[in-house]
Structure 1
Amino acid sequence: MFAYRHAFHAGNHADVLKHLVLVHLLQHLNQKEKGYRVIDTHAGTGGYSLRSVEANKKLEWVDGIGRLWERQDLPKGVAAYLDQVEVFNGPGVLKQVPGSPSLIRQLLRPQDELHAFEMQPQDMRSLEKLMADDKRVKVHLSDGFNGLKPLLPPPTRRGLVLMDPPYEIKTDYTRVLGSVREILTRFPDAVVAVWIPQVQLVEAQQLPQRLRNAVQGVVKKGWLDAQLTVAPAQGGGFGLMGSHMFVANPPHTLGTLLAEELPWLASAMAQFPGAKGQLLAG
């Protein structure tokens, strides 16, 4: 089992990678006038205070977004991501971090839409309150894996699916793989982004390769696997060493951006000498 209650980890290195890639994908989708649909399968509350008891228990954000916030030498794409964090906070202050649905909403245009799924009633109510009165956003109290089918393909045939389950149970790994196959069967042009933890668990270590095999020959625009490792393995199989963002049908510009940004991020957020950022593509 891999326990990942997000309030304890918000703003850490995994959040940085996930949200950096998400901002890149949305900015690319915004280059064409036609609207698109975003599906966030595990949305959470939409925002997390860095002054909360949870965030301050381990202070993971300090070695994540905290390492980047006041730097003046940010790569252009990393700066664009931090600009969106600042929009969520207000000018010049870092007291909270946006969850993925908040970042998505900030970048949506009037013709775009977001479907955000959350299974925990309390988190769903927080998200619903945050998204109140925004007609572009629909919040669902439901299992995001099960909610995909009726929403695909979107009428405009433009869409992004973000999948970042907590992986608290091992079946999440197989459900991710099955869901990616279903998405691309129903909507071969979908951009699909999957966050995967780097932990000492066979299922986690096998999932990136299984996803590559599943999409090979199915997607028109190939795949990217962005890998960021910043922390050493801990005894007993515990600890988050880093993470992957696997993207099927990535925009043609994404690989160039990430090839520059990943090594820079690894250096900026390194917690041990073996930190590295690398990009695989197919």
Structure 2
Amino acid sequence: MFSYRHAFHAGNHADVLKHVVLLATLRHLMHKEAGLTLIDTHAGAGLYRLDSDFTDKGDEARDGIVKLMGALRPASGQPAASAAAVDDYLDLIAGFNPSGQLRVYPGSPFVVHSTLRAASRDRLRLYELHPTDSRTLSANIAQLEAGRTVSVHREDGFAALRPLLPPPPGPGGSRRAMVLIDPSYEIKSDYHKVSACIQESLKRFPTGCYLVWYPVIPRPEAHDLPRRLRTLANQSQRPWLHATLAIGQDPSHGPDDRPGLTASGMFVINPPYTLKAQLQEALPVLLNMLGRGRGQGQTLESAG
């Protein structure tokens, strides 16, 4: 049950897509003065060393953030053409690596925390069930000295989300929340849990902003999930956006090599109205920088 460790995959192409979308969404949500309840249902350890034993085993960051940073923030020479959302994301990563050496990768909890506003009533709720990652997450968050602004819970994020919605009203009476759902999907039941969680959440709090990450793999449940999410959003008459990024097969791998994860998607319900235009600009940049072989591509759909 606890075999999945995000440290093996930190900074890969799926993280790049997820965090570009997450950061662009957060930037827009922070424009309104009213406080936000921010919930990460599967928070992981929060921070990752790109030179650790975990990341060295998979070396997935090499085809993700390392490749992207090398092309768009080269130590010397002219950087390639970029996009505003990608530049903002790279600025964030660079802030965690002040020496200029890419050694630390911030997971979603730290991406979200970086956008919290001083003297605001934003609250970040982090859930992680893996015992080791939960302890590491707590230790990493403790270094922020964020007080009650950020809380860490060793709980099942699916179950924990229900009593949090609708969120408590802010000083002006408004209720605002953003929820990120990105389980490992190593267990097939995760796909059903995600759709059931979104269905329940839309009933309890239909105006919340919900972000779902999922792997694009040859499994029926993986292909059905975005279709199910689209149906749920349409039934609730809520706008949605669906983005995918496929970097393609590694041309250095032989026909018998396992390809690993080559594509992933982000499905956003109640997306900021600015997000589509930002991704129309950002996705081609990511594909141009990270695409590596047969099967590469990107898609962007939306409604509402």
**So what's the TM-score if we normalise by structure 2?**
0.88
Aligned residue in 2 for 1:66: 66
Report Cα offsets for 1:100-131 as digits up to 9, x if no partner: 00111111113201100000122111111111
Which runs of structure 2 are paired with 1:37-52 in the superposition (5 Å)?
Answer: 37-52=37-52
1:217 and 2:229 aligned: no
Which runs of structure 2 are paired with 1:11-50 in the superposition (5 Å)?
Answer: 11-50=11-50
How far does residue 275 in structure 1 lie from its aligned partner after superposition? 1.2
Paired residue secondary structure (1:250):
coil
**Would you say the 8 A contact 2:42–2:126 is kept in 1?**
yes
Report Cα offsets for 1:137-179 as digits up to 9, x if no partner: 0101100000011111112311100000000100000000000
Bigger mean CA deviation after superposition, 269-278 or 168-177: 269-278
Return the match for 2:122 from 91, 95, 112.
112
Which runs of structure 2 are paired with 1:50-89 in the superposition (5 Å)?
Answer: 50-70=50-70, 71=72, 72=79, 73-89=81-97
1:137 and 2:150 aligned: yes
State the one-letter code of the partner of 1:143. Answer: D
**Would you say the 8 A contact 1:85–1:98 is kept in 2?**
yes
Q: Kindly tell me the number of residue pairs found equivalent between the two proteins.
A: 280
Rounded to whole Å, the distance in 2 between the matches of 1:281 and 1:212 is 9
How far does residue 5 in structure 1 lie from its aligned partner after superposition? 2.8
Return the match for 1:244 from 265, 276, 280.
265
Return the match for 1:150 from 148, 163, 168.
163
Bigger mean CA deviation after superposition, 206-215 or 266-275: 266-275
How far does residue 88 in structure 1 lie from its aligned partner after superposition? 2.1
1:61–1:207: structure 2 CA closer, same or farther, 3 Å change rule? Answer: same
Rounded to whole Å, the distance in 2 between the matches of 1:206 and 1:217 is 16
**Would you say the 8 A contact 2:179–2:208 is kept in 1?**
yes
Rounded to whole Å, the distance in 2 between the matches of 1:271 and 1:175 is 33
Rounded to whole Å, the distance in 2 between the matches of 1:25 and 1:51 is 29
Aligned residue in 2 for 1:272: 293
Q: Which has the larger radius of gyration?
A: 2
Rounded to whole Å, the distance in 1 between the matches of 2:192 and 2:245 is 22
Report Cα offsets for 1:69-98 as digits up to 9, x if no partner: 131232111010111112222253310100
Bigger mean CA deviation after superposition, 170-179 or 51-60: 51-60
| Runs of 5+ consecutive residues of structure 1 not aligned to the other structure | none
Paired residue secondary structure (2:292):
coil
State the one-letter code of the partner of 1:191. Answer: C
Alignment RMSD = 1.8
1:219–1:45: structure 2 CA closer, same or farther, 3 Å change rule? Answer: farther
Runs of 4+ in 1 over 4 A off after TM superposition: 233-238
Paired residue secondary structure (2:293):
coil
1:37–1:219: structure 2 CA closer, same or farther, 3 Å change rule? Answer: farther
Aligned residue in 1 for 2:5: 5
Rounded to whole Å, the distance in 1 between the matches of 2:235 and 2:13 is 32
1:235–1:263: structure 2 CA closer, same or farther, 3 Å change rule? Answer: farther
Return the match for 2:195 from 156, 169, 177.
177
Return the match for 2:210 from 192, 200, 214.
192
How far does residue 219 in structure 1 lie from its aligned partner after superposition? 4.2
Aligned residues: percent identity? Answer: 45
**Would you say the 8 A contact 1:45–1:126 is kept in 2?**
yes
State the one-letter code of the partner of 2:247. Answer: V
**Would you say the 8 A contact 1:200–1:237 is kept in 2?**
no
Rounded to whole Å, the distance in 1 between the matches of 2:257 and 2:4 is 17
How far does residue 263 in structure 1 lie from its aligned partner after superposition? 1.7
**So what's the TM-score if we normalise by structure 1?**
0.94
Report Cα offsets for 1:205-264 as digits up to 9, x if no partner: 1111111011103143x1010010112397698621210000000000000111111122
**Would you say the 8 A contact 1:11–1:60 is kept in 2?**
yes
Rounded to whole Å, the distance in 1 between the matches of 2:259 and 2:286 is 23
Rounded to whole Å, the distance in 2 between the matches of 1:274 and 1:167 is 22
